[in-house]
Every structure is written in C-alpha cells, then in structure tokens.
C-alpha cells in the first residue's frame, strides 16, 4: 500500500512530513526513547516488518500481505506500534529503496499512525461487549481506514495539483481511487481481522505475563 | 560532512523536481543524472525500472483506457513517468552512495541502524522458516498454515523480547550510553 515517489504533489507531501514529524516528537516523549527502550524499539520494528511479510493465501492462487499493525497495537499499545511501524517504513525507504522518499510522511500517517490508533481504539471501545469481535474489527478497521486515507490522498491530486484541468501528479479522482483501493481492502481486511484474532489469542495465552503487565 | 551535504542537496533536488512541471527540464535533469552516475548507469536503470514498472504501468494503462471515454492530455504520460523514474533513479543513486547513518542525528542513526540490523536478521529467519515449512508440505492447507503462523509468531515475539534485552546489555557494556 506504499505510495511511490512522483505520485503526490508537494502541497500534500510537505504538510504530511510536518504532521509525521509532530507525531514522532510526541511519540518520542510517550514511549521514552532512552537507553532501555532503544534496542527494544529496534527489535519491535523487526517484528512489525515480519508481520508485514506474512502473505495470506487467498482463494484463486493470489495472496495479500498482512499489515500486522493491529496485532502490534493491541499487544504493545498504539504509540509503540506507531514508532515501530514508522521505523520499518523509514528503513524500507532509506535503505531498501522501497516506498518513496517524498511520500514517506504520507505512508507513515496512513500505515503507522492511522493503522495503530484506529485498531487500538476500536478494540478498546468494543472489548467489553465482545472481545473476539473487537479484535477482529480492530484488524479490519485498521487496514480499511489506512486504505481510505491513501485513496483520499491519491484522489485529491487531480483537484489540488492540476493546470487548466490537466493533472500533474496522480491523475484519477476519488471515485476511481476508492473503487480501486478501498474495495479490495474490504476483503483483505477480513483476512487481516481473522489472523489478528487467531494470533492475538494464541500469543495472549503463551505470553501471559507480558499481557497482564499491559 | 560530505554525506550530509549530498543528502541535503538531494532533498532540495527532489522537491525541485516535484515543483517544476516542464518535461524538457525533467528530461535534461535525467540526462545529467545519467552522465554523473555513468559508472553505475546500467545497474541503476535496471533497479529503478524494476521498482517503478508495476505502478507506472498500471497508472499509464488506466489513463490510456480513460482516454477511450473522455479527452485526455497525452503529454501527461511523459511528464508523470519521467518524474517518477527521475525521482526513483536519483533516490537509488544518492542513497547507495552516501552513508545515511552519518546524515542522521546520533540517537536516530543508532535507532535506524539497530532497526535495520534486526529487520535484516528477522527477515532471513522468516524466509528460512517459510522455506522449511513449504518444503514439508505436499499441498497447501489453511489449518497447517495457521499452525505454522502461530509457531512463527511465538518464535518472533520471543526473539523480539530476548534480542531487545541482549542488545541493550551489549550496548551498555560497550559504553554506548552515557546515562
């Protein structure tokens, strides 16, 4: 779901960078990035990367990648999840050359921030009613809200960055991006939700002490 | 110092390339980038093409398809693809020739370096794990897949907690932290 370079106008990616920087500044205070936490954050980002690598086999021979953000947010809380997922995106962009440099801020907002916080709060609000449903919806909502954000960002490009009606960056409108991005994610979200339920329950049973601390 | 100067110059350039919408300017910039990076030219072209091909093709073909139903500006395709390729090419060229850890502030550099080393390690373990799992399957089954997923997540969460402590102790014993 990463947006590559050249798809987004500076009028969008510069404010997105500013917003991401503000969130990082808040996150660094919330998770206290000190000597104790530095190495833990690094390994947590590696865990987040591994979750993102999991391919969910879909009927028809295709597969979709898990985002794993909901699982991370439910286990470690939204701020740690945000920092870990952002770190993955930074490493991917700066070192692996995957995802864009100009679009890094947008990718951080969409995947790390919206994914972590929406999942966490959906779970928090719904867990008293039905915990399994809350975990499932945390996974589903996290994936879909990120997809909606990406679709919106791409879809507003022809409106905000065009000359005499001619596009300069991504050329398709919101209706098209919604159809192309959000609809497949409605289905991918079902797989993400189901995997989140299975793994969360399994890990909670096997790492009881860690979950009790939280 | 050299790395920092090149990195900031690179940031200014990529912003400039998204601010100017002239095809000739972008084409000349790409030609200059090709000349300056001639030593790695073939490798960088191949890597950039491989990286942008999928998304650029989807957007370009969909745009052409849209042209069947309404009037479109065909020069957009040149502008869009040129810019995407130029930005990707320059990013690969610069990021492969500077030491990114010298550019970032000390704590951020340490965090990114540690994350990178752990991601690299975890990725290799992950690939080994799935290769092992696949080699033991005669055919795919969801129950087997879920069991493997559980085993894998157990292993990696354990590794996350364990490695975090180990690295922290290692860094402390080598005097990395002054707190």
B40 and B128 part of one domain:
no
Q: Decide: A79 and A115 in contact? Cβ < 8 Å.
A: no
Q: Which 65-104 residues of chain A touch chain B by CB within 8 A?
A: 75, 87-88, 90-91, 94-95, 97-98, 100-102
Name the residue among A49, A163, A172 with its Cβ closest to that of B62. A172
B17 and B97 part of one domain:
yes
| Each residue's pLDDT tens digit, A1-47 | 678 899 999 999 999 999 999 999 999 888 877 766 788 888 989 99
Which band of pLDDT confidence, cut at 50, 70 and 90, is reported for residue B18? very high
| Each residue's pLDDT tens digit, A121-155 | 999 999 999 999 999 999 999 999 999 999 999 99
Helix/strand/coil for B33: helix
Tell me whether A206 touches chain B (CB under 8 Å). yes
Residue B117 forms part of a structural domain: yes
d(CA B83, CA B11): 15
User: Is A35 close to B167, i.e. CB distance below 8 A?
Assistant: no
Tell me whether B21 touches chain A (CB under 8 Å). yes
d(CA A9, CA B31): 23
Structural class in CATH, domain A10-213:
mainly alpha
B95 and B120 part of one domain:
no
**Interface probe, candidates A1, A2, A5, A72, chain B, greatest B C-beta count within 10 A:** A5
Residue B23 forms part of a structural domain: yes
B11 and B94 part of one domain:
yes
Q: pTM, whole model, 2 decimals?
A: 0.91
What b-and-e string marks burial along A168-181, b requiring 16 or more CB atoms within 10 Å of the CB? bbbbbebebbbeeb
User: Is A5 close to B14, i.e. CB distance below 8 A?
Assistant: yes
ipTM of the modeled complex: 0.88
pLDDT computed for residue B60 by the predictor:
94
Tell me whether B110 touches chain A (CB under 8 Å). yes
Continuous segment of H or E residues that includes residue A99: none
B72 and B134 part of one domain:
no
**Interface probe, candidates A9, A15, A25, A50, chain B, greatest B C-beta count within 10 A:** A50
Residue B178 forms part of a structural domain: no
- CB-count exposure of residue A59 (10 Å: 0-12, 13-18, 19+): exposed
User: Is A198 close to B146, i.e. CB distance below 8 A?
Assistant: yes
Helix/strand/coil for A66: coil
d(CA A76, CA A129): 22
Give how far the C-alpha of residue B11 lies from the chain's centroid of Cα atoms, to the nearest Å.
16
Number of domains in chain B: 2
Q: Which tokens in the block code for residue B69?
A: 């139903």
Name the residue among A38, A47, A57 with its Cβ closest to that of B110. A38
Give how far the C-alpha of residue B34 lies from the chain's centroid of Cα atoms, to the nearest Å.
20
């Amino acid at each position: 779901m990463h947006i590559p370079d050249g798809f987004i106008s500076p009028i969008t990616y510069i404010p997105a960078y500013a917003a991401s920087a503000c969130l990082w500044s808040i996150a660094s205070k919330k998770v206290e990035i000190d000597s104790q936490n530095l190495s833990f954050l690094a390994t947590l980002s590696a865990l987040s990367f591994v979750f993102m690598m999991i391919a969910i086999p879909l009927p028809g021979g295709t597969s979709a990648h898990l985002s794993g953000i909901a699982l991370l947010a439910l286990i470690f809380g939204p701020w740690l999840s945000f920092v870990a997922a952002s770190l993955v995106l930074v490493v991917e962009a700066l070192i692996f050359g995957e995802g864009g440099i100009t679009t890094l801020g947008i990718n951080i907002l969409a995947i790390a921030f919206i994914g972590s916080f929406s999942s966490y709060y959906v779970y928090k609000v719904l867990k008293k009613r039905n915990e399994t449903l809350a975990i499932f919806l945390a996974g589903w909502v996290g994936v879909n809200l990120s997809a909606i954000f990406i679709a919106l960002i791409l879809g507003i490009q022809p409106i905000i960055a065009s000359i005499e009606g001619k596009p300069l960056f991504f050329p398709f409108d919101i209706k098209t991006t919604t159809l192309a991005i959000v609809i497949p994610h409605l289905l991918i979200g079902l797989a993400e939700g189901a995997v989140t339920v299975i793994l969360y329950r399994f890990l909670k049973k096997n790492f009881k002490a860690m979950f009790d601390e939280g | 110092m050299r790395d920092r100067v090149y990195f900031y110059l690179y940031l200014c350039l990529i912003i400039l390339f998204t601010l100017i919408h002239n095809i000739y300017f972008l084409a000349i910039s790409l030609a200059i980038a090709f000349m300056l990076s001639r030593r790695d030219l073939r490798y960088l072209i191949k890597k950039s093409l491989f990286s942008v091909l999928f998304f650029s093709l989807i957007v370009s073909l969909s745009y052409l398809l849209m042209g069947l139903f309404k009037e479109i500006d065909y020069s957009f395709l040149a502008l869009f693809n040129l810019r995407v390729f130029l930005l990707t090419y320059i990013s690969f060229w610069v990021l492969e020739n500077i030491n990114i850890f010298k550019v970032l502030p000390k704590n951020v550099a340490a965090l990114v370096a540690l994350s990178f080393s752990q991601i690299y390690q975890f990725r290799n373990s992950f690939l080994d794990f799935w290769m092992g799992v696949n080699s033991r399957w005669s055919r795919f089954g969801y129950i087997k897949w879920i069991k493997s997923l559980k085993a894998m997540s157990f292993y990696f969460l354990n590794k996350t907690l364990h490695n975090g402590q180990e690295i922290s102790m290692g860094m402390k014993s080598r005097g990395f932290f002054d707190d």
